[in-house]
Amino acid sequence: MAPARPTRSRSGALCGHLLLALTILTFTCDACKKVVLQVPSQLDAEKFVGRVNLKECFQSANLIYSSDPDFQILEDGSLYTTNAILLSSEERSFTILLYNTENQEEKKLLVLLQHQTKVLKKRHSKEKVLRRAKRRWAPIPCSMQENSLGPFPLFLQQIQSDTAQNYTIFYSIRGPGVDREPTNLFYVERDTGNLYCTRPVDREEYESFELIAFATTPDGYTPELPLPLVIRIEDENDNYPIFTETTYVFTVSENCRVGSTVGQVCATDKDEPDTMHTRLKYSIIEQLPAYPTLFSMHPATGVITTSSSQLDRELIDKYQLKIKVQDMDGQYFGLQTTSTCIINIGDVNDNLPTFTRTSYVTSVEENTVDVEILRVTVEDKDLMNTVNWRANYTILKGNENGNFKIVTDPKTNEGVLCVVKPLNYEERQQVNLQIGVVNEAPYSKEASSQSVMSTATVTVNVKNQDEGPECSPAVQTVQIKENVPVGTKSNGYKAYDPETRSSSGIRYKKLTDPKGWVTIDENEGSITIFRNLDREVESIRDGIYNITILASDKDGRTCTGTLGIILEDENDNGPVILKRTVVICKTVLSSADIVAVDPDGPTNGPPFDFSLESDPDSDLERKWRLVKINDTAARLFFQEDLPFGTYRVPVRITDRHGLSLITPLNVILCDCVTENDCTLRTDARTGHGEVRLGKWAILAILLGIALLFCILFTLVCGGTGAAKQPKVFPDDLAQQNLIVSNTEAPGDDKICPTNGFTTHTVGSSAQGICGTLGSGVKNGGQETIEMAKSGHQTLEPCRGTGHHHTLDSCRGGPVEVDNCRYTYSEWHNLTQTHLGEESIRGHTLIKN
């Protein structure tokens, strides 16, 4: 390690350099502002300190430097710290000198002054603070002019570490511009820390360089942390502003107001934003045609507006502007570029269409339709094939009957006049029309309604034509009474020749006759009744029967008309009751309403009279009563407490002229609440109705049948199992003569004697003394046989248990019930005696 140099000698040398620099600076520069700042003892890097007024400094130059490297001042007067500062109490006062200069040599002097000042401050501070902490080494941000002319290598600044007082320090840098692209642009002197640039730099390619500075000792020791170093490239106005398009095309409507926006142009500049180099100004250099001046441009935004309302597309439909953009806010030394702007004038409907002639004459044959009879033309100065040019024609007068229409031909813009309803020469020989024309688009200028429409007159001459018969009116009527005798003649249909107004020579033919009721006379058109006319037929509406007639002349020309036969009503139908079955829910009502109708017309219809039609011997009026409700309805009451059932009640209804009919009513007295309850079920009390089972009732029946089958199957299976059970009688009864037979036929009825058999059901009271021979007795699903001994004998069921009953015999002797304990001999004697006497053919034991 190199020996440390004496501190005092180094301070003296530095002070000497500082004084020399101050002296040179004094002769070459003038301080433009002196500012005294009071700051805290500790400040962070890049901290805002204050703001000063620099207007006096900007009067002579545009670059300002601070004499203190720990501070930097911006163009707007903002003062920031460049490094973290730690001060003692007696060093709270700082003096900062602000200088104006543009000379490169003076810049170098300022940089040297900043460096020497920094070294002195660091050494002075180190004597007080070095024992406590080591200071950061932090040079001020560095900048260089874009496209600088040198000389190269160009000195930028010096970096130095505080540890150089105690060690030999070598300086080095890395980063973009050193060992990364663009390589070898910057380098630093190893011993002094002087930073140089080797060639010019384009700011539009590299705005700044962020380098890393290192301070190391010869043996590789690093006393300082790596230091970020930013080199900013100061912009030079070396880029022309460029329009975003080579040619701009805009459209503006004619006759628009002054100040209407036409469009906006835009330009870009690659120089540094928010500086004079990119402050652009727009202007119009030239207008073609030049006179009159119609457009203006906003200098800052590039918006083109109209400066006059004299734009007329019919005179000039396009303008061309030569426009310019210049940086440095349009100053004469700024860079500029030009472009072209084409402005098309849009059409508006400011010209009315006008007829080329004021009057037209045309002709058309009568009875022709859907034919073109005239074409009219108009002139319009507006843009062709637009809504401002296309015409809409209308008929203003003379077309009250709707015989004509006028439409626009889309290809030629002509008005086409057509006949849509035939003309009649006999009625009018000439028609005068007034037609008008407007554009599809509304007229843009304010004007009265009379001036916005051009008009013309059209005279249409109607040519006569030899016509066929005319069926006029097309529908003719004749009145005939219904039910007139067949063969009755009446007036029919009449057609005529429009030329002679006569019906001679016209033949008639029937085209349609739905019922075939009439025939038509071929020469006169009169009709003859062929079948009976009935007004009340369902197909007849409003009493009118229509037939179609064809009329023709000798040349075969025809016309068609309709003859309506109005059938005059006759009172040939009596009133009837349409609903023949009446239901009276007796539990809630005592009457029912009946309504009568009459097919005849109103003059032969209601009001109706209602009465009961009964025989002298009948008690109908005693049971029923009719009360009239209105002209067409009555109410039927039952007067006695009649039983439920169906009754036949004949009712006579008489119309206003005395014509009557008897309608037999079927009246059902039903136990119901509503009429539907009675009609949907069968009830013995009504005598009518039908059983209607729902799906759930059918399902319940099916389930019941299935359940019965299950029970039957269970009983059959139980009987089969019982046959396999062990015998209940003693073995000594195997030879008994009482045989249980499965014969279906029952035995003979026999009144038992005192010593006969008595059937008894265990668990129930006695049914009688005398039983029926051959009858089976059921006891819990098992058969029981009881026998009685003559005299005082005891009976008990042979199987099962139950209460003991004492029964009297037929002779009145008591019978005691006891268990069946009989010997074989007793049983044999008893059975042989009675079976032989009574000739018992068999006993059938029935199992339920």
With bands split at pLDDT 50, 70 and 90, how would you rate the model's confidence at 431?
very high
Q: Looking at the domain covering 242-346, what would its CATH class be? A: mainly beta
Residue 126: what pLDDT? Answer: 46
> Which residue in this structure is represented by tokens 């540890």?
163
With bands split at pLDDT 50, 70 and 90, how would you rate the model's confidence at 720?
low
Residue 362: what pLDDT? Answer: 94
More confident residue, 372 or 165: 372
With bands split at pLDDT 50, 70 and 90, how would you rate the model's confidence at 306?
very high
What fold is seen in the domain 576-670? Immunoglobulin-like (2.60.40)
Q: What is the pLDDT of residues 575-601, one digit of tens each?
A: 888 888 889 888 888 888 889 988 888
Residue 6: what pLDDT? Answer: 34
Is a pLDDT exceeding 90 seen at residue 673? no
Is a pLDDT exceeding 50 seen at residue 783? no
Is a pLDDT exceeding 70 seen at residue 834? no
Calculated CA dihedral for residues 733, 738, 739, 742, nearest 10 degrees: -130
Cβ proximity of 533 and 526 under 8 Å:
no
With bands split at pLDDT 50, 70 and 90, how would you rate the model's confidence at 833?
very low
Cβ proximity of 396 and 436 under 8 Å:
yes
Identify the CATH assignment for 475-568 out of 2.60.40.60, 3.40.605.10, 1.10.10.10, 3.10.350.10.
Answer: 2.60.40.60
Round the average pLDDT of the chain to a whole number and report it. 75
Q: What is the pLDDT of residues 131-155, one digit of tens each?
A: 333 444 776 778 899 999 989 999 9
Is a pLDDT exceeding 50 seen at residue 378? yes
Q: What is the pTM of this model?
A: 0.42
Is a pLDDT exceeding 60 seen at residue 54? yes
Helices 7-28 and 104-129, axial angle in degrees (round to 10): 150
Residue 455: what pLDDT? Answer: 93
With bands split at pLDDT 50, 70 and 90, how would you rate the model's confidence at 824?
very low
DSSP code of residue 621: H
Is a pLDDT exceeding 80 seen at residue 643? yes
Six-digit token pair at 686? Answer: 């009504």
What fold is seen in the domain 35-114? Immunoglobulin-like (2.60.40)
Give me Rg for the CA atoms of the chain.
Answer: 68
Q: What is the pLDDT of residues 163-185, one digit of tens each?
A: 888 889 999 999 999 999 999 99
> Which residue in this structure is represented by tokens 């934003």?
273
With bands split at pLDDT 50, 70 and 90, how would you rate the model's confidence at 470?
confident
More confident residue, 105 or 257: 257
> Which residue in this structure is represented by tokens 């005192």?
754
Identify the CATH assignment for 143-234 out of 2.60.40.60, 3.40.50.720, 1.10.150.170, 3.40.225.10.
Answer: 2.60.40.60
More confident residue, 122 or 519: 519
Residue 530: what pLDDT? Answer: 86
Give the integer Cα–Cα distance in Å for 72 and 769. Answer: 146
More confident residue, 561 or 1: 561
Q: How far apart are the first and last CA of the chain?
A: 136
Q: What is the pLDDT of residues 357-369, one digit of tens each?
A: 999 999 999 889 9
Is a pLDDT exceeding 60 seen at residue 385? yes
More confident residue, 690 or 133: 690
Residue 466: what pLDDT? Answer: 74
Residue 363: what pLDDT? Answer: 93
Cβ proximity of 665 and 591 under 8 Å:
no
- Asked if the bond preceding 292 is cis, omega within 30° of 0, the reply is yes
Ramachandran region, residue 484 (left: φ > 0; alpha: ψ -120 to 50; beta: rest): beta
Is a pLDDT exceeding 70 seen at residue 117? no
Residues 6+ apart with CB under 8 A from 544: 477, 564, 565, 566, 567
- C-alpha to C-alpha distances, 239 to 102, 272, 277, 301, nearest whole angstrom: 22, 10, 8, 20
- Highest mean pLDDT of the ranges 15-29, 327-341, 539-553: 327-341
| Range of lowest pLDDT (313-317, 535-539, 693-697, 808-812) | 808-812
With bands split at pLDDT 50, 70 and 90, how would you rate the model's confidence at 777?
very low
Residue-wise burial string across 680-701, b where 16 or more C-beta atoms lie within 10 A, e elsewhere:
eeebeebebbeeeeeeeeeeee
With bands split at pLDDT 50, 70 and 90, how would you rate the model's confidence at 195?
very high
More confident residue, 801 or 224: 224
Residue 49: what pLDDT? Answer: 74
> Which residue in this structure is represented by tokens 């530095």?
14
- Side-chain half-sphere exposure of 784, counting CA atoms within 13 A: 23
With bands split at pLDDT 50, 70 and 90, how would you rate the model's confidence at 121?
low
Listed in order, the ranges of the chain carrying CATH 2.60.40.60 are: 35-114, 143-234, 242-346, 354-463, 475-568, 576-670
Cβ proximity of 211 and 229 under 8 Å:
yes
Residue 810: what pLDDT? Answer: 33
Domain covering 354-463 assigned CATH 2.60.40.60 in the classification = yes
With bands split at pLDDT 50, 70 and 90, how would you rate the model's confidence at 119?
low
Give the integer Cα–Cα distance in Å for 635 and 650. Answer: 14
Residue 472: what pLDDT? Answer: 84
- Please report, rounded to a whole number, the percentage of residues in the chain having pLDDT higher than 70: 69
Is a pLDDT exceeding 70 seen at residue 19? no
Six-digit token pair at 646? Answer: 């169906």
Taking the alpha carbons of 825, 827, 828, 834 in that order, is the dihedral positive or negative?
A: positive
| Range of lowest pLDDT (21-35, 89-103, 365-379, 660-674) | 21-35
Residue 416: what pLDDT? Answer: 95
Residue 58: what pLDDT? Answer: 55
Residue 139: what pLDDT? Answer: 67
| Range of lowest pLDDT (63-77, 323-337, 360-374) | 63-77
Q: How many residues are given for the chain?
A: 848
Residue 88: what pLDDT? Answer: 55
More confident residue, 572 or 139: 572
